[in-house]
Structure 1
């Protein structure tokens, strides 16, 4: 499946038990040359507390707490509204014509919720990497830093992204977002995704960037976020209902179905 070109291998283990997923197996399945190939692997499992559980694995085998585009893909696959368990807490999904809407929960801004290595104001961080300076940090189920620049396309994200992702300031690494204003309540965004690299779209990145832009007074909700793969609509009111949650809407589609032998990837 994919959402705006951000593609996923989705494994449904809700009713059919599967061998235990490991970082090595996730990495092997995600390999575009010797595996199936994807940006992230999405695993659906039973849940005692919610409709089901969703786990997200990056292409490097690491497990992520949230994935916005992957969540929309899950909503489309499930085909009905649901509340699902994730590593970052429960989220609600609702399929729509051609896609889905996801309640991504409440963003967090405290330095230790990102987390950062030491206390710091996350609204305008007094740090920089060459011409990318004074970002905002937001946790939307996974950690993000957002840089607002004149032209997002001109940023050397392929070079600076991995440097920022692995900086000691971010003990759990970080997703790197570079955004610019494209019009009234409209942002253009590129993302270096933690554990996956440059991506055509990042749902949590769009959420984090929209929230940061609203907090800084650059745009008002709802915000259209244009990524290389297409547009997402992000709605967030800091004191709105439900409890300041982020609502993300956008497309997701199934590309194909297939089978594989687990022993080939164990």
Structure 2
């Protein structure tokens, strides 16, 4: 691309879910340029990432998170991206070990301890069930389907069938789940906007943990999730029909920084 821009960026990853993060407090980034975002996220021609995140100033909280899918369009909440931007904000000196920030689905609190970032997710009070799957929104829409075996599964192929076949153009993220024991599950996720399997999905594993508890596949309120990119932990409390105090915990690591002409 030739926009005459020289962009500084930071690359972060949370259990293999990787993001380009840009400090946009001076509002220099052309936020409506979907082609630019898609170019930057392209792994062949750009930097390469599952998504792009802008950190911006906010009058109601420490900062604002603006999230784009790899296809260039602004999207719903990203759990691993939320954890990564918290680590980035601390690197910039905007916060210490705790924060409250604004995202597309409202305010989120988070804290950092022992190298792990814990992000408070929104409450969940509606889960829809079908014979073979569950559907719920944890900041982003998620299809949760229990499987006997995940190894060897073509998640991109099977996920795309459900993403478009069941949910149309708007789509849903698709999570395939295998139970390991009472409080541990393996998860593989097809993400809309990326249109492929990702190594991890934060809102996805949150949806899995809540759905598995709600439908009696576990009695635990702290769930360990095994993703291809590494382990995550989801905790919650159930009060009536509402899941509250929902947290997502895992690593969020700085990879590298750089500049790109575009």
Is TM > 0.5 for Structure 1 vs Structure 2? yes
Describe how 1:43-62 pairs up with structure 2 within 5 A: 43-62=54-73
- The answer to which of 204-213 and 72-81 deviates more is 72-81
- Counterpart position of 1:211: 210
- Counterpart position of 1:150: 148
- Equivalent of residue 120 in structure 2, options 103, 111, 119: 103
Describe how 1:25-104 pairs up with structure 2 within 5 A: 25-79=36-90, 80=96, 81-104=98-121
Q: Distance in 2 between matches of 1:91 and 1:5?
A: 22
Q: Deviations over 1:130-159 (max 9, x none)?
A: xxxx21001011100000111122443221
- Counterpart position of 1:162: 160
The alignment's TM-score, normalised by the length of structure 2, stands at 0.87
- Equivalent of residue 27 in structure 2, options 5, 17, 38: 17
SS at match of 1:245: strand
- Counterpart position of 1:174: 172
Q: Distance in 1 between matches of 2:151 and 2:188?
A: 7
Describe how 1:243-262 pairs up with structure 2 within 5 A: 244-261=244-261
Larger relative contact order (CA 8 Å, sep ≥ 6): 2
C-alpha change, 1:174 and 1:108, in structure 2 (3 Å) is farther
Runs of 4 or more off by more than 4 Å in structure 1?
none
C-alpha change, 1:41 and 1:136, in structure 2 (3 Å) is same
- Counterpart position of 2:222: 222
Q: How many residues align?
A: 241
Q: Distance in 2 between matches of 1:216 and 1:64?
A: 28
1:61 CA displacement: 1.1
Instruction: Please state which structure has a larger fraction of its residues in strand.
Output: 2
CA-based RMSD of the aligned residues comes to: 1.8
C-alpha change, 1:231 and 1:243, in structure 2 (3 Å) is closer
- Is 2:133 aligned against 1:135? yes
- Counterpart position of 1:131: none
Q: Is the 2:125–2:243 Cα contact (8 Å) retained in structure 1?
A: no
1:169 CA displacement: 3.5
Q: Is the 1:108–1:140 Cα contact (8 Å) retained in structure 2?
A: no
1:235 CA displacement: 0.3
- Counterpart position of 2:232: 232
1:233 CA displacement: 0.6
- Structure 1 residue runs without a partner (length 5+): 111-121, 127-133
Q: Deviations over 1:8-65 (max 9, x none)?
A: 1000112x33132222111010011111110111111111222211011111112221
Q: Deviations over 1:166-222 (max 9, x none)?
A: 235356310000001112300000000111120111111110000000101112110
Q: Distance in 2 between matches of 1:159 and 1:97?
A: 38
